[in-house]
Chain A
Amino acid sequence: MGQTLVEKIINAKAIGRSSVGNPAKPGEIVTCTVDLAMFHDSSGPRRVAPRLEALGAKVWDPTRVVVVTDHFVPAVDIAAANILKLTRDWVRDNKIAHFYDMEGICHVVLAENGHLTPGLFAAGGDSHSTTGGAFGCYMAGYGATEMTGIMVTGEIWVKVPETIRVTWSGKFGTGVAAKDIMLHLCAELGMDNSFKVVEYDGDTVTDMDMSERMVLTNMAAELGAETGIIAADATTVAAIKTAGGTPPEDALEWRSDTDATYVAEHKFDAAVLGPMVAAPHAPANTKPVGAFEDIAVDQCYIGACTGAKYGDLKMAAEVLDGRSVAKSTRLLVAPASTKATAQAAADGTLAILTKAGAIMMPTGCGACPGMGAGILAENEVCISSTNRNFQGRMGPASSEVYLASPYSVAAAAVTGRITDPRTFLT
């Protein structure tokens, strides 16, 4: 019987198991060796270091650890500054091989620096670690104590997940993006797909660049999935090489067998999908943008690992080219990485945004997790290209966040109300 891509990776890494000899099946619990472990300034050293000290243990393999500062950057108060200093000191003292200090959001930085390759088993101290699956690897998120366990042993237990296959065919219409797919899927599949993996395929997916594919795997977290994954193709291999990484020779062989068993298979047509918006306070509260067109917004936010990569900034610029941000609202743009900022600066994308009146914010997680600049006031309404609109996440419990694509956030910035971005695109 065939195996899914995720079953193959887990069996390749599971101690005492193998895909050909005695493969573990969905539902079985196995222990896997970890190829790469990543954490950031919030979940990482400040929480892991005291635990390692209490155990008297050392990092099992500093060459396999990546640390990124992104949640408390740049420091706005002494508490944040101390957290960042602790992070830098720990990285130095433990001779961690890969440290990215204020270079961008961890999931984007991993991709930009060639760390993710097909067949890899990776663990991240952040729930959106699912993003890594866009590169055909298994990457899931864990809490700080469990990341401490990985630091000591280099291993983690996994209940082999069942795989949900999601196939998208057809070409996007104008003003539609991967984000609209994910908001639609949150409503269709629900947010409670625990201990399952979502594998994406179909020509809509293979036509996407890595930036858009990463939106699909990033928001697998909102589906409640173990992770999301997309089999590698020529686009993946080229992106890894451009990023300075080394794709394995068998990169294209890491894919589900044609006779693999899925727990469910869903097929969708991208050509009939329009811009989608998720109302407060859950990503599953999704309807077509037209359902919300009377809603005034105090803030428009382009940010986070989901919606502020270079490609996302380009989408916003397409809408904002030659237009201005309405006086009744404000547009904050926090690019997902310094590389994204540099690329957008080089080709004029940033000039379009700033000329329109966008306020440029530091690279980092920013307002998305409620830790950086751009927090909402009581009863304020925001439309955001981020991934979560949980009550109290980006501000007080009375504030409201609508989730949408960068196109739709930019369109709302022009009018001050939730607006179909196709109004401004031809």
Chain B
Amino acid sequence: MSAITGSAWIFGDNIDTDLIISGVYMKLTPEEMTQHCLEAVAPDFAKNVRAGDIIVAGANFGMGSSREQAPQLLKMLGVGAVLASSFARIFYRNALNLGLPALILPEAGEIDPGDRISVDAAAGKIVNGKNGKSYNCEPIPDHLMAMIADGGLMAHLKKKIDAGDL
């Protein structure tokens, strides 16, 4: 996987799944749902986020529901990766399963809104273009990197089925 570069969107601690996408929108189509993504905390996010932009957050990003629409909609909006000082467990699993890199970055607080951030998910390396500062993230476990390299859990399963392993 090559590096992804985009602008940083900064969020605080405990960004929950209802903030990412509220349950009241669960009957809309995914395309419609994207327009409500993070609206309560960042009303301009859905409109202004660009392909490759990076979400940088504090602790426990994605706490709450198992709803997979949370990482799915971020990915549909073009978010290239999510960096957080820690992740809620289901969001972390869901994001990686969908092929959205989620990297644990204890120094997330050093990044400012709009900083140009490059993320090399496979290497766990992050560079802030503003000041050239680089960070080494906790690596994503090997068995999950293999899945991400295949394009997520669905593509990974398909590959195994086609190979006769399942």
Which residues, 114 to 166 on B, are CB-close (under 8 Å) to A? 141, 143, 152-154, 157-158, 161, 166
Closest to B59 in A: A192
Asked if residues A143 and B90 are in contact (CB atoms below 8 Å), the reply is yes
Which of A42, A126, A195, A395 is within 8 Å of B24, CB to CB?
A395
Q: How many residues of A contact B (CB 8 A)?
A: 49
Would you give the shortest CB distance from B100 to chain A, in whole angstroms? 11
Asked if residues B68 and A144 are in contact (CB atoms below 8 Å), the reply is yes
Q: Mark B65-94, 1 if CB is under 8 A from A, else 0.
A: 111100000000000000000111110111
Asked if residues B19 and A371 are in contact (CB atoms below 8 Å), the reply is no
Would you give the shortest CB distance from B80 to chain A, in whole angstroms? 19
A-B interface pairs (CB < 8 A), number: 129
B residues in contact with A157, CB < 8 Å: 143
Residue A393 CB within 8 A of the other chain: yes
State A388–B17 Cα separation when bound (angstroms): 11
Asked if residues A194 and B19 are in contact (CB atoms below 8 Å), the reply is no
Which of A143, A149, A191 is within 8 Å of B63, CB to CB?
A191
Asked if residues B60 and A224 are in contact (CB atoms below 8 Å), the reply is yes
Residue A238 CB within 8 A of the other chain: no
B residues in contact with A145, CB < 8 Å: 68, 94, 97-98, 152-154
In addition to A125-B66, A226-B89, 4 A-B residue pairs with Cβ atoms within 8 Å of each other are A142-B90, A143-B97, A195-B89, A370-B26
Residue B107 CB within 8 A of the other chain: no
Residue B106 CB within 8 A of the other chain: no
Asked if residues A371 and B60 are in contact (CB atoms below 8 Å), the reply is no
Asked if residues A127 and B65 are in contact (CB atoms below 8 Å), the reply is yes
Residue B35 CB within 8 A of the other chain: no
State A52–B154 Cα separation when bound (angstroms): 9
Closest to A161 in B: B89
B residues in contact with A295, CB < 8 Å: none
Asked if residues B60 and A191 are in contact (CB atoms below 8 Å), the reply is yes
Residue A113 CB within 8 A of the other chain: no
Q: Mark A47-67, 1 if CB is under 8 A from B, else 0.
A: 100010011110000000000
Which of B22, B86, B98 is within 8 Å of A194, CB to CB?
B86
State A71–B27 Cα separation when bound (angstroms): 11
What is the interface of chain A mostly: helix, strand, loop, or mixed? loop
Residue B109 CB within 8 A of the other chain: no
Which of A80, A146, A375 is within 8 Å of B27, CB to CB?
A80
State A246–B88 Cα separation when bound (angstroms): 34
Q: How many residues of B contact A (CB 8 A)?
A: 39
Q: Mark B20-35, 1 if CB is under 8 A from A, else 0.
A: 0011101100000000
Taking A43-B66, A152-B166, A392-B18 as contacts, is the C-beta distance between A141 and B90 under 8 angstroms? yes
Which of A83, A194, A392 is within 8 Å of B89, CB to CB?
A194
State A333–B66 Cα separation when bound (angstroms): 25
State A120–B86 Cα separation when bound (angstroms): 29
Residue A390 CB within 8 A of the other chain: yes
B residues in contact with A42, CB < 8 Å: 26, 67
Which of A29, A77, A79 is within 8 Å of B141, CB to CB?
A29
State A281–B26 Cα separation when bound (angstroms): 20
B residues in contact with A146, CB < 8 Å: 93-94, 97, 153
Residue A15 CB within 8 A of the other chain: no
Which residues, 363 to 391 on A, are CB-close (under 8 Å) to B? 369-371, 375, 388, 390-391
State A142–B90 Cα separation when bound (angstroms): 6
Asked if residues A393 and B98 are in contact (CB atoms below 8 Å), the reply is no
Asked if residues B88 and A194 are in contact (CB atoms below 8 Å), the reply is yes
Asked if residues B14 and A51 are in contact (CB atoms below 8 Å), the reply is no
Asked if residues B89 and A224 are in contact (CB atoms below 8 Å), the reply is yes
A residues in contact with B65, CB < 8 Å: 127, 369
Which of A226, A282, A371 is within 8 Å of B14, CB to CB?
A282
> By CB atoms of chain B within 10 A, which of A42, A72, A194, A195 has the most?
A194
Asked if residues A388 and B14 are in contact (CB atoms below 8 Å), the reply is no
Residue A153 CB within 8 A of the other chain: yes
Residue A148 CB within 8 A of the other chain: yes
State A43–B26 Cα separation when bound (angstroms): 10
Enumerate 28 A-B pairs (CB-CB under 8 Å) in ascending A order: A43-B68, A55-B158, A56-B161, A77-B27, A80-B27, A127-B64, A127-B65, A127-B90, A129-B66, A145-B68, A145-B153, A149-B157, A153-B157, A159-B141, A191-B14, A191-B60, A192-B88, A194-B92, A224-B89, A370-B24, A371-B23, A371-B24, A371-B26, A391-B18, A391-B19, A392-B22, A392-B24, A397-B40
Q: 4 tightest A-B contacts by CB?
A: A370-B23, A143-B94, A390-B18, A397-B40
Asked if residues A224 and B63 are in contact (CB atoms below 8 Å), the reply is yes
Closest to A124 in B: B66
A residues in contact with B68, CB < 8 Å: 43, 47, 143-145
